[in-house]
Structure 1
């Protein structure tokens, strides 16, 4: 699949948010509807034109980078080491992907279905849900893509989606089963309410409910998940479009989300995928 035109719809503002990307010059193709969460840290991508904040793991490298020496112009030849030494930070596995982040659209449904296979089958988002969520609130869905460096005579390949975050809005301070559901009449009605609660995406909700943070199996362990989460949090915080981000996770992943500032609010009432979840909340209003 390829897009032969010069127009890239991902360049247009979506619901007041400018698409986020540092992959300028590459267009994502438009396709029809038919057509790990991992504990990682990285500084390899850019968010809103600014480098991501360093994590604690990189603090030592930052201190070393500040080790400069003042050199008089007359003595330049006496300091070849200081002037020529390579960067201290070691190249990571994520660097080898040449990653960039981009808002997702309905053209990425097939890519998202493939990435979602990282989860157990009962916990995966269905293709129909991807169509609904990417069509209804694409500004809340972010992907990390890889595109290798090419020589001038090589054709541009289609970027590969390595990891994604899929989310909707909810009025609840936690993820609920109704927020996770697909409205039965989503193709004909903009909003569906059952028992006093909006089913699926609630356009007026002040909580961003993350339904999926997934990474292709072959790229897990390369700092993709945490890099993507870090970029996503920074984007939502700077846009000031919500009071909080909420998510559910199994117990072994609670420390991962706590490392980003999420608070453990105890067992979740959500029974999606068989239950056994923990509620986690990252509040913006208190910052």
Structure 2
């Protein structure tokens, strides 16, 4: 079996990451390359890529906040990011469609959770579509119901994972 490597993103990964984002989300929901670049520039410690045989096949990225829910403005820019935030939010967990259903998304999420625990983060926040609720529940995320978010015109659900007191 091929060995998956998870590491922090580098600026030279931006084109690959942007391509995967466009493959995984409808245009109205996908982060533009400029937003991904800003996330990488502001908080690279919360941005990881998954490599398989040296090829980037997925990524997960986030930012720190003291808010308890994700607001749509968070997806637009990193102005909300607080370097001393107690919570980390997930902007996206993307695995290229050719590599989905092989456990790579789970590996990225486990890496993200472990990283947040080591940093003393209290909670991980995310929004997801209804069909992904059970995926996130397997990690211990709690579904808080329909989100106020209308990002990309979709219906989202707020979820959180308490990892440190």
Shared fold per TM-score greater than 0.5: yes
* Mapped contact 2:14–2:36 kept (Cα < 8 A): yes
The structure in which a higher percent of residues are strand is 2
Task: Give the alignment's TM-score, normalised by structure 2.
Answer: 0.93
SS of 2:18's equivalent in the other structure is: helix
Provide the C-alpha distance between the structure 1 equivalents of 2:81 and 2:55, rounded to a whole number of angstroms. Answer: 27
CA deviation map 1:51-78 (0-9, x unaligned)? xxxxxxxxxxxxxxxxxxxxxxxxxxxx
By how many angstroms is 1:201 displaced? 2.1
By how many angstroms is 1:172 displaced? 0.6
What residue ranges of structure 1 are gaps of 5+ in the alignment? 1-94, 148-158, 184-198
By how many angstroms is 1:238 displaced? 2.4
Q: Which is higher, the Rg of structure 1 or of structure 2?
A: 1
* Mapped contact 1:248–1:278 kept (Cα < 8 A): yes
By how many angstroms is 1:259 displaced? 0.6
* Mapped contact 1:122–1:273 kept (Cα < 8 A): yes
SS of 2:28's equivalent in the other structure is: helix
Q: Which residue of 1 aligns with 2:164?
A: 285
SS of 1:123's equivalent in the other structure is: coil
Provide the C-alpha distance between the structure 2 equivalents of 1:273 and 1:202, rounded to a whole number of angstroms. Answer: 24
By how many angstroms is 1:170 displaced? 1.7
Structure 1 position 214 matched with structure 2 position 119: no
Q: Which residue of 2 aligns with 1:115?
A: 20
The structure in which a higher percent of residues are helix is 2
SS of 1:285's equivalent in the other structure is: coil
By how many angstroms is 1:179 displaced? 1.7
Provide the C-alpha distance between the structure 2 equivalents of 1:279 and 1:123, rounded to a whole number of angstroms. Answer: 16
Task: Give the alignment's TM-score, normalised by structure 1.
Answer: 0.55
Residues matched between the structures, number: 164
Provide the C-alpha distance between the structure 2 equivalents of 1:113 and 1:258, rounded to a whole number of angstroms. Answer: 27
Aligned mate of 1:243, from 99, 122, 137: 122
What residue ranges of structure 2 are gaps of 5+ in the alignment? none
* Mapped contact 2:93–2:105 kept (Cα < 8 A): yes
* Mapped contact 1:133–1:201 kept (Cα < 8 A): no
* Mapped contact 2:69–2:158 kept (Cα < 8 A): yes
Q: Which residue of 1 aligns with 2:64?
A: 169
CA deviation map 1:131-169 (0-9, x unaligned)? 10001100001111012xxxxxxxxxxx21111001111
